[in-house]
């Protein structure tokens, strides 16, 4: 193309207002990835499709770039401020660098619109808009006698809602094309359909989803359908636009389609070309007689016909008897034979449990597939992924409990009374450190209270301190399978990032190693403090918890007893006495441990002055039969010889104080029996004496009941108060030793363990709630739940190399700690159905609330508040390239030990299951494998120590499903490896349990993993980064990631570089 140089020079010197855009940019030419020269600053002016490059604003134009047959490559990271213009003519690329990210984005838009191809796209967009207006006008003329949408009192139109079942998708349909016309006669089409929605109120076109790509046919049958979730605003007046594309370069298309704005069509040079489009009203499909529409595909100008699209409405609750004689990729004559029974697993997810389920699940993403079976039928699969509000609710509840527990502990340390200078300084140091940790917990809780937006933590936020208690990417992955000849089935998997303290890092390993090292160091502590084993420390915390729980109960039951006596009510008196006796016996039993006695002695030696007084007589065997580990206390106490000895300590005084509680209770029981005996109609003589009452020095039984019981109850309370004071101080002294022996490591390990446990517990609560709702009508499962407990199986995909080894150590401890969690199902008293957490560290009770109608379905044992046990097990198999390094040059002992330990736990659960449950309660699969054989096979695979033995994961998952367990899949961030594992498991289930056609296994797997089927996401919809990028997937679980195959040569290079970096780091 020829240009007049004078005219161009004149155009370049025109005033600033005459140009589309101008400003300073750094410019240079690029060949491949190498810049020919360093970028130089130029004043750039854009007019039409001409870009003038000038040395400064007032100089002559040095160069003119014609924006024709070129495209823009924009770097989407947050720091890049540059773009590259690529030309089809083959001339060197133009590198353009702006001063800031907003400036770079504005130039990218301006240059893209100035391109001649961009102008052509605008023309095509206008043509399509004209065609749609014509279609709308013609359809309006055809419906001029039909009633239009009603107008409300505010003048806003009222649209017609679609009738649906509660908690079911509003609309689902499948798609197929026929007789598509290719651009060239010999070309084989690789097509997909893009689905867009035109909302009737806004008249804005919104890209919704896409099908998978079907290759090599002009009559494609798409296995991926379209589904709209219950809360999606779709009405009969809503229009659906279907656009068919031919993909030239599949890899390029999957990257480019997700970053295009809705108002722009992709260029033909990025890997796909436009074939045709059509539009239909939702009402036309819903009200059609055959629930099917056959639509004509037309080109953008509306003139040429390029094929047809068949839209079939899907209603999984209806029955169709038509069968398919033959299924191939290209056939279009089949209809889906659908049978949905009323007793399906999802049948309970209706009106009754909808509020409680919606309380924990939100923002579902639904997918619909149809796959052929081996007997030439169609099965339908509805896939759903949902976030959970428990991601933040459970950690906030847990942190709140930690704060209360730590405040109570700090107060108990302050209430120890006067201590010798050494111990007093130790207490002050411990309290100061504890106050700092308490302040940190309070700040974290306050920050979480301010959180708004997404209900889950994305992987890019795993290193944020304020979110370290929150699990990563916690989601429910549900697959609802409807087979024509089999009962409907639900398969749930909870996906979550490995519970780990990412903010604290893994330089020194994870919890498994850190706790072992800390305990070894504590055993070698010098004279500064007394060593108590972890078992004794846990026992001290349990005693303190029992005191805080039982003392107020005993006091309230004692007051109820007096109230019953004042009312002269025999029945009420009996009941109050029974409750008082039970709680007091539990109270007394809590102090039978030798730990309390030895701790009291240790505390006495820590007073400003003490003298030990040996007991006059030997103790009985019952008193000396305590924990043998406490025999080392006298030697520890001898270290305190510097403390002055000027008082006496009677070691038997505790026995007397402790026994007084029981004696006082016996007096109360005897008096109540005497009063009831006198009140009853009997032949007992008036003057007959009761021997037990005589021991209590009760000389008469006449007078008012209240007056006779009152002094005895007061004595009981006084004795109990004295026991509580001494026991609290002794157990607080034990906790003081635990904290003092390891400051500040002890508190930091407690914090790390709290963080990991918080993430693990959030996932567990979510899994339990979902499992309870799913199995609410399964009496066998409910019996198993209260008789045996619930199996919770975690599938770990972490490697044992570098940081992931530390993550695995954290994860193993966090999951093991879940054994201390108990669940309790209660009836909801309000509209708030979120779980309630009570308890303390190492002993938590999760109260799950159900509506009254659902609560009535539970067995009597669960309704009465029986605590339900959890049996968590973890099996880990590293599968990524880092695991290859660990297996060849590292150590896999950690993974082997974890798998072996959890195999024993799984066998223990199976043994308990077989002892308490009948054999007919197991789920019935097509091939009912013997569980004992599966366990033996799992044992053999673990012992084999085979590299990347994924058979371990499949066997563990199968056993879990057969035992009605809850399935978890975890990797570092619950993205790549998790998505690969979940989709493979789903397709394997379809093949093994639902007769998926063997020739369609790979295609079904590709459909579930395809990013193309997800369509375009808004920035707020990207679960990982919050932005759209060229190098990151735009969905959570529906995309493939190539597992890297590392050759031996590359491994050697990798090892050498790693060693060099390691040496450089520590020099």
Tens of pLDDT, residue by residue over 851-868, are 999 999 999 999 999 999
Question: pLDDT tier at 934 (50, 70, 90 boundaries)?
Answer: very high
* pLDDT average, residue stretch 77-103: 83
Q: In angstroms, rounded to a whole number, what is the distance separating the alpha carbons of residues 659 and 389?
A: 50
With 90 as the cut, is the pLDDT of residue 405 above it? yes
What is the maximum alpha-carbon separation in the chain?
A: 135
Relative to beta strand 378-388, strand 361-372 is antiparallel
Q: In angstroms, rounded to a whole number, what is the distance separating the alpha carbons of residues 34 and 43?
A: 23
Residue 600 is predicted with a pLDDT of: 87
With 70 as the cut, is the pLDDT of residue 323 above it? no
> pLDDT digit string (tens) for 780-797?
999 999 999 999 999 999
Q: Which among 122, 95, 231, 115 is positioned nearest to 170, based on CA atoms?
A: 231
With 90 as the cut, is the pLDDT of residue 612 above it? no
Q: In angstroms, rounded to a whole number, what is the distance separating the alpha carbons of residues 752 and 503?
A: 10
With 90 as the cut, is the pLDDT of residue 817 above it? yes
Residue pair 506/498 in contact (Cβ under 8 Å)? The answer is no
Name the least confident of 131-135, 587-591, 825-829. 131-135
* pLDDT average, residue stretch 37-56: 88
> pLDDT digit string (tens) for 551-568?
888 888 888 888 888 888
What mean pLDDT, rounded, does the chain reach?
79
List, by residue number, the catalytic residues. 971
Name the least confident of 251-260, 751-760, 965-974, 979-988. 251-260
Say how many residues make up the chain: 1067
> pLDDT digit string (tens) for 66-77?
888 787 877 656
With 90 as the cut, is the pLDDT of residue 123 above it? no
> pLDDT digit string (tens) for 447-501?
999 888 788 899 888 889 999 999 999 999 999 998 877 788 899 999 999 999 9
Residue pair 511/752 in contact (Cβ under 8 Å)? The answer is yes
> pLDDT digit string (tens) for 362-394?
888 888 999 999 888 889 999 999 999 999 999
**Residue predicted with more confidence, 272 or 721:** 721
- To the nearest 10°, the Cα dihedral for 849, 852, 858, 863? 70
Residue 1026 is predicted with a pLDDT of: 36
Q: How many helices (H) and strands (E) does the chain have?
A: 29, 31
With 70 as the cut, is the pLDDT of residue 826 above it? yes
> pLDDT digit string (tens) for 656-707?
887 888 888 899 898 888 888 877 744 344 444 444 444 444 434 434 788 8
Which residue pairs, CB below 8 angstroms and at least 24 apart, start in 288-297?
Answer: 288/313, 291/315, 295/242, 297/177, 297/180, 297/244
């Amino acid at each position: 193309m020829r240009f007049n140089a004078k005219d161009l020079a004149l155009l370049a010197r025109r005033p600033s207002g005459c140009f589309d855009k101008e400003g300073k940019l750094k410019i240079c030419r690029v060949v491949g990835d190498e810049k020919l020269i360093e970028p130089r600053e130029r004043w750039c002016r854009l007019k039409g499709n001409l870009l003038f490059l000038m040395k400064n604003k007032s100089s002559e134009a040095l160069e003119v770039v014609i924006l024709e047959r070129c495209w823009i490559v924009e770097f989407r990271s947050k720091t890049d401020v540059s773009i590259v213009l690529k030309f089809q003519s083959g001339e060197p690329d133009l590198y353009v660098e702006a001063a800031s990210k907003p400036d770079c984005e504005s130039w990218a838009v301006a240059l893209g619109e100035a391109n001649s191809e961009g102008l052509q796209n605008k023309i095509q967009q206008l043509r399509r808009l004209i065609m749609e207006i014509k279609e709308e006008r013609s359809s309006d003329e055809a419906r001029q006698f039909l009633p239009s949408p009603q107008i409300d009192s505010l003048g806003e139109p009222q649209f017609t809602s679609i009738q649906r079942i509660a908690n079911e998708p509003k609309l689902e349909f499948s798609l197929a094309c026929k007789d598509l016309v290719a651009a060239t006669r010999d070309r084989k089409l690789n097509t997909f359909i893009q689905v867009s929605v035109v909302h009737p109120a806004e008249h804005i076109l919104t890209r919704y989803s896409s099908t998978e790509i079907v290759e090599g046919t002009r009559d494609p049958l798409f296995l991926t359908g379209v589904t709209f979730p219950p809360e999606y605003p779709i009405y009969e007046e809503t229009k659906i636009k279907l656009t068919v594309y031919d993909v030239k370069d599949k890899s390029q298309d999957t990257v480019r389609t997700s970053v295009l704005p809705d108002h722009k069509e992709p260029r033909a040079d990025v890997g796909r070309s436009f074939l045709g489009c059509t539009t239909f009203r939702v009402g036309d499909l819903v009200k059609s007689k055959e629930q099917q529409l056959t639509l004509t595909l037309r080109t953008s100008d509306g003139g040429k016909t390029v094929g047809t699209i068949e839209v079939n409405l899907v209603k999984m609750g209806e029955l169709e008897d038509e069968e398919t004689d033959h299924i191939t990729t290209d056939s279009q004559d089949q209809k889906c034979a659908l049978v949905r029974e009323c007793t399906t697993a999802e049948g309970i997810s209706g009106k009754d449990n909808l509020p409680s389920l919606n309380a924990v699940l939100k923002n579902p993403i639904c997918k619909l597939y149809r796959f052929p079976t081996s007997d030439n039928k169609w099965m339908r699969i509805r896939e759903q992924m949902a976030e959970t509000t428990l991601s933040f609710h459970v950690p906030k509840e847990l942190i709140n409990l930690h704060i209360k527990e730590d405040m109570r502990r700090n107060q108990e340390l302050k209430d120890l009374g006067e201590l010798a200078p050494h111990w007093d300084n130790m207490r002050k140091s411990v309290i100061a450190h504890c106050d700092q940790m308490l302040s940190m917990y309070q700040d974290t809780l306050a920050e979480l209270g301010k959180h708004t937006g997404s209900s889950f933590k994305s992987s890019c936020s795993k290193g944020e301190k304020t979110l370290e208690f929150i699990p990563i990417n916690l989601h429910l992955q549900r697959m609802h399978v409807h087979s024509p000849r089999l009962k409907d089935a639900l398969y749930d998997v909870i996906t979550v990032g490995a519970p780990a303290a990412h903010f604290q890092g893994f330089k020194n390993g994870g919890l498994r190693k850190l706790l072992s090292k800390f305990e070894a160091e504590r055993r070698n502590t010098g004279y500064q403090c007394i060593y108590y084993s972890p078992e004794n420390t846990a026992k001290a915390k349990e005693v303190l918890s029992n005191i805080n729980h039982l003392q107020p109960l005993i006091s309230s039951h004692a007051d109820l007893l007096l109230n019953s006596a004042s009312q002269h009510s025999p029945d009420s008196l009996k009941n109050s006495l029974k409750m008082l006796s039970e709680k007091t016996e539990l109270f007394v039993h809590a102090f039978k441990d030798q730990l309390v006695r030895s701790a009291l002695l240790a505390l006495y030696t820590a007073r400003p002055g003490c003298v030990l007084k040996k007991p006059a007589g030997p103790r009985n065997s019952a008193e000396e039969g305590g924990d043998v580990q406490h025999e080392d206390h006298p030697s520890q106490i001898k270290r305190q010889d510097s403390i002055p000895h000027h008082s006496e300590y009677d070691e038997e005084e505790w026995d007397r104080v402790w026994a007084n509680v029981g004696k006082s209770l016996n007096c109360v029981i005897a008096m109540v029996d005497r009063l009831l005996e006198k009140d009853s109609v009997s032949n007992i003589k008036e003057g007959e004496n009761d021997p037990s009452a005589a021991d209590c020095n009760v000389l008469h039984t006449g007078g008012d009941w209240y007056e006779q019981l009152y002094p005895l109850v007061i004595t009981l309370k006084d004795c109990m108060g004295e026991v509580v004071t001494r026991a609290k101080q002794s157990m607080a002294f034990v906790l003081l030793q635990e904290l003092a022996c390891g400051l500040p490591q002890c508190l930091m390990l407690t914090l790390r363990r709290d963080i990991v446990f918080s993430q693990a517990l959030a996932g567990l609560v979510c899994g339990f709630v979902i499992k309870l709702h799913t199995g609410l009508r399964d009496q066998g499962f409910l019996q198993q739940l209260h008789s045996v407990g619930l199996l919770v199986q975690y599938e770990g995909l972490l490697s044992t190399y570098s940081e992931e080894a530390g993550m695995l150590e954290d994860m193993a401890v966090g999951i093991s700690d879940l054994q201390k969690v108990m669940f309790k199902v209660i009836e909801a008293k309000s509209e708030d159905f979120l779980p309630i957490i009570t308890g303390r560290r190492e002993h938590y009770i999760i109260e799950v609330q159900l509506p009254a109608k659902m609560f009535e379905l539970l067995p009597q044992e669960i309704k009465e508040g029986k605590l339900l046990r959890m049996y968590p097990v973890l099996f880990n198999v590293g599968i990524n390239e880092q695991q290859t390094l660990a297996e060849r040059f590292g150590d896999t002992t950690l993974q082997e030990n974890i798998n072996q330990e959890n195999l024993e736990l799984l066998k223990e659960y199976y043994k308990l299951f077989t002892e308490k449950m009948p054999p007919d309660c197991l789920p019935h699969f097509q091939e009912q494998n013997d569980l004992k054989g599966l366990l033996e096979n799992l044992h053999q695979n673990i012992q084999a120590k085979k590299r990347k033995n994924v058979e371990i994961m499949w066997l563990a998952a199968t056993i879990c499903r057969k035992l009605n367990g809850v399935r978890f899949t975890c990797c570092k961030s619950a993205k790549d490896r998790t998505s690969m594992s979940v989709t493979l498991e789903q397709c394997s289930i379809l093949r093994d349990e639902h007769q998926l056609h063997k020739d369609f296994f790979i295609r079904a797997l590709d459909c579930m993993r395809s990013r193309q089927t997800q369509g375009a996401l808004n920035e707020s919809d990207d679960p990982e980064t919050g932005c759209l990028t060229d190098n990151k997937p735009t969905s959570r679980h529906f995309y493939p990631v190539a597992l890297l195959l590392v050759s031996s040569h590359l491994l050697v290079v990798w090892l050498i570089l790693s060693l060099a970096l390691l040496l450089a780091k520590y020099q």
